[in-house]
Amino acid sequence: MRMRGCFFKSKPVDEAYGKHSFQFPSLHMAPIILDGKKLSQTIREELKAEVATCMAAGHRPPHLVAILVGNNPASETYVANKVKACAHVGYKSTELRYPDSLEESFLLRKLAALNADPEVDGILVQLPLPAHISATKVIETISPEKDVDGFHPINIGRMAKNLPAPLPATPAGILEILRRYGIQTTGLHAVVVGNSNIVGSPVSILLARDNAPGRCTVTTCHIHTKDLAHHTLQADILVVATGVVGLIKPDMVKSGAVVIDVGINRIADASGKGFRLVGDVDFEGVAPLCSHITPVPGGVGPMTIASLLQNTMQLYKQHLGI
């Protein structure tokens, strides 16, 4: 795989994961590019086959309901991509769109109705919401058994206790990358930069759990952390989710680290689009130091939707007792 301005080749996904225990490479080796786009396609094909098997046994397809309030362009794109992904794997999807002026009480009543609908397996409400609608109320109104985003406090608590639960999609996607590329994490020091409820905090919990991937010593850094480089230089696994373009520079990463860049930021350029996507990590400077690194785009982003589809399948099976 050739990245812009670089000449690093990734192993094909079917060769790179699942066959070998992870070892830090010698410094002359090029890093393995963690190809989330290709991996997400593999997962979609797996789910497509699973849906076909379920339907051949006489079951209905999984059903995901996505709710979009307002006209945020990024949110519209995210929801459209989720609906398209559902169609590809054979899920039924319902998109409910409402204006910015939607009353909070109406949305909460709609969620209660969807909770009671036996034909609905997963419910997601695209964030952010208009200021007059409480995201906390919305998240807590969705039934934990239909909480495909894994944001309900009950599911967060179950996750923290290492009990079965739908996991927040982006952290779950990060773990799936580590798992499928055969990166052994036990005993490693993971540093997570960013402590949001959507990515940073849950991925810190997941990497510390007694699972594989997991069993790491975890340091969580955030905007108030002093001397960030002191912490990142100790990371065997570095996860960065801040939304700050190029925050992580080469002098902040130790040789052989696994770097997971969650950032997706637009910067202006002279292309036809007028912009390009970059991460929170200075890819061209950092990549030569790494054993493994995710690109932006094509790394963590595609895995978020793949994980959402996996959560939907998990909830669907629970509902039907499969």
Q: Is residue 110 flagged as an active site residue?
A: no
CA-CA distance, 243 to 95, in Å (whole number)? 28
Q: What is the three-class DSSP state of 211?
A: coil
| Integer Cα distance of 173 and 303 in angstroms | 5
Planar angle of CA 33, 38, 44, nearest 5 degrees: 145
- Cα angle 179, 152, 201 (rounded to 5 degrees) comes to 50
Contact 159, 206 (CB under 8 A): yes
Tell me which residue has tokens 């997400």.
40
Q: DSSP 3-state assignment of 298?
A: coil
Is 318 known to be catalytic?
A: no
Helix (H, G, I), strand (E, B) or coil at 281: strand
126 tagged catalytic: yes
Helix (H) or strand (E) holding 65: strand 63-69
Buried b (16+ CB within 10 A) or exposed e, 187-196: ebbbbbbbbb
Reduced to 3 states, what is the DSSP secondary structure of residue 274? Answer: coil
Compute the C-alpha angle 196/199/201, nearest 5°.
60
Q: What is the CA radius of gyration of the chain?
A: 20
Catalytic residue among 110, 126, 261, 280: 126
Name the 3-class secondary structure at 258: strand
Residue ranges in 191-238 assigned as alpha helix (H) = 200-208, 228-232
Query: Per the residue annotation, which of 82, 146, 280, 310 is the catalytic one?
Result: 82
Catalytic option among 35, 121, 149, 280: 149
Point out the residues that are catalytic: 82, 126, 149
